């Protein structure tokens, strides 16, 4: 595998905190929800989150940001330790600390503290920008991009630079390779840059895509940047270089906590542009990464572990917990699902009918190679996940890297573990484990004559010669 290019992130770090609890009543003295059993979790926010996510991709990441001696700055240093190299700018004031209060996973309230700003650039920070091979500016309007603007302008001429803007922040420097506003941000910037008739609002009923295209065209001209990708939430993103825009749809609709999805999008795009990918390739991958981020639990992923340390996607685990909590039945099925075919679909549809949700435990690429040989998988894990998630009968997908899914099953603890009927029950190593928590192993009918191996063999055969005399 080609080594991933290092990435320098310039921007404003924040400290984010979530206080989660249960809500089942209103307070007697005011019509406000009562949050009980509150649990608090902190995570890096702003540019620090973007840097953390880029490091989670296996990159060497340097974050140039303003930090001070306050408690929030110390917390961010601890959260990034061991994963992100820090180049610190002097901070005037206390680092911003944002606390969300959530009940039943829905935001109820946000508390903001700290108004700290970057005071000035340092020679180390300037040298870091000059040496960068790829740059991401995560501008949250707290001065980091402002004090390094001259260096960023020079860098944009020679290396790919992605700018994730903020309404309170700086305009991107001319020559920026890709700017990544949300639809709401793009509309706000466009209104400011081309007020009145110059900023045409799309006609009623024309939809989000037409408005995003109009706004992106305004930003492209006004800012002098190479391309703009307007992020559209669960729809995907719209990319324009000034001609006909490219719509990149999300493969699946991911419903969940979208906090940080914009940082996930920008970090993915910036890393791939540093790897010399085309903007179209970078935006497609960024849409997929942001969708997966939301589907797997969003901010909860960041709050529960360091890069690479999350043992199972929280989306699958939390789904299992929610279904159990309401008295439902959790079903799970596993396999390689390489070249998804009718036999697979029949098995998964049958498995889904055994419970109130179906979680698919998917062999990683390395696990498939160990089981099937060096020529497999034919389809990499990211694409296999995408196809499985597109099936109506599948509620979540979790990848495991071992020979068998026992570790993952131990986390999910399904009531039903479904396998195809071509397995003998006694040969399943998971049987004893599943039964240890009162679960049940079920064999389901398997469609005869369908297998990935036979499909691959038939595809590899040369076509049969045409009968003599046929036209």
Catalytically annotated residues: 263
State the burial class of residue 19 (Cβ atoms within 10 Å of its Cβ: 0-12, 13-18, 19+): middle
Sheet with 106-113, edge to edge strand ranges: 33-46, 13-26, 97-103, 106-113
Compute the distance between CA of residue 217 and CA of residue 215 in angstroms, rounded to an integer: 5
Asked if 169 contacts 149 with a C-beta cutoff of 8 angstroms, the reply is no
Smallest CA-to-CA distance from 397 within 292, 290, 256 is with: 292
Closest-CA residue to 21 (of 33, 32, 34, 36): 36
Closest to 98 (Cα-Cα) out of 76, 120, 66, 69: 76
337 closest CA partner among 372, 369, 362 = 362
Structure tokens at 367: 């696990």
Q: In whole angstroms, how large is the CA radius of gyration of the chain?
A: 25
Q: How far apart are CA 455 and CA 449, in angstroms?
A: 10
Q: Give the whole-angstrom CA distance, residue 269 versus residue 229.
A: 10
Distances (CA, A) of 414 to 321, 428, 430, 442: 10, 16, 12, 12
> Measured between alpha carbons, how far is 69 from 311 in angstroms, rounded to an integer?
33
Strands 13-26 and 7-11: unpaired
Name residue 137's beta-bridge partners.
Answer: 10, 163
The phi and psi torsions of 334 (rounded to 5 degrees) equal: -135, 165
SS3 for 126?
A: helix
């Amino acid at each position: 595998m080609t080594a991933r290019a290092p990435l320098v992130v310039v921007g404003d770090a924040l400290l984010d905190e979530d206080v989660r609890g249960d809500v089942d009543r209103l307070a007697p003295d005011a019509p406000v929800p009562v949050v009980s059993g509150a649990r608090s979790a902190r995570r890096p926010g702003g540019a620090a989150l973007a840097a953390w996510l880029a490091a989670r991709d296996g990159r060497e990441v340097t974050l140039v940001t303003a930090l001070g001696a306050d408690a929030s700055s110390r917390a961010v240093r601890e959260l990034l330790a061991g994963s992100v190299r820090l180049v610190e700018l002097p901070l005037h004031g206390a680092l911003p600390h944002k606390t969300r209060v959530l009940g039943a996973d829905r935001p109820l309230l946000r508390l903001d503290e700290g108004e700290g700003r970057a005071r000035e650039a340092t020679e180390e920070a300037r040298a870091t920008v000059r040496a960068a091979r790829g740059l991401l500016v995560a501008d949250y309007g707290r001065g980091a991009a402002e004090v390094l603007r001259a260096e960023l302008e020079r860098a944009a001429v020679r290396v790919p630079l992605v700018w994730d803007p903020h309404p309170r922040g700086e305009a991107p420097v001319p020559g920026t390779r890709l700017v990544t506003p949300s639809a709401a941000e793009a509309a706000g910037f466009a209104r400011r840059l081309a007020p009145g008739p110059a900023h045409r609002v799309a006609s009623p009923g024309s939809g989000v895509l037409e408005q995003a295209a109009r706004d992106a065209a305004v930003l492209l001209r006004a800012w002098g940047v190479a391309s703009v990708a307007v992020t559209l939430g669960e729809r995907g993103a719209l990319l324009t270089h000034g001609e006909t825009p490219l719509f990149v749809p999300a493969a699946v609709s991911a419903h969940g906590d979208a906090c940080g999805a914009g940082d996930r999008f920008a970090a993915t795009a910036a890393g791939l542009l540093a790897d010399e990918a085309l903007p179209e390739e970078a935006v497609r991958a960024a849409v997929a990464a942001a969708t997966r981020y939301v589907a797997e639990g969003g901010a909860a992923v960041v709050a529960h572990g360091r890069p690479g340390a999350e043992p199972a996607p929280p989306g699958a685990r939390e789904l299992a917990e929610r279904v159990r909590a309401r008295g439902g039945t959790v079903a799970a099925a596993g396999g390689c699902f390489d070249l998804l075919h009718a036999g697979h679909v029949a098995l998964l549809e049958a498995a889904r009918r055994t419970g109130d949700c179906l979680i698919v435990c998917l062999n990683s690429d390395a696990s498939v190679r160990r089981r099937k040989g060096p020529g497999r998988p034919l389809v990499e894990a990211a694409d296999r996940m995408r196809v499985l998630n597109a099936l109506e009968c599948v509620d979540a997908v979790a990848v495991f890297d071992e020979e068998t899914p026992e570790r993952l099953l131990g986390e999910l603890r399904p009531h039903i573990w479904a396998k195809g009927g071509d397995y003998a029950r006694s040969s399943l190593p998971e049987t004893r484990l599943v039964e240890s928590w009162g679960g049940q192993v079920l064999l389901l009918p398997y469609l005869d004559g369908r297998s990935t191996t036979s499909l691959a063999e038939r595809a590899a055969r040369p076509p049969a010669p045409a009968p003599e005399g046929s036209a």
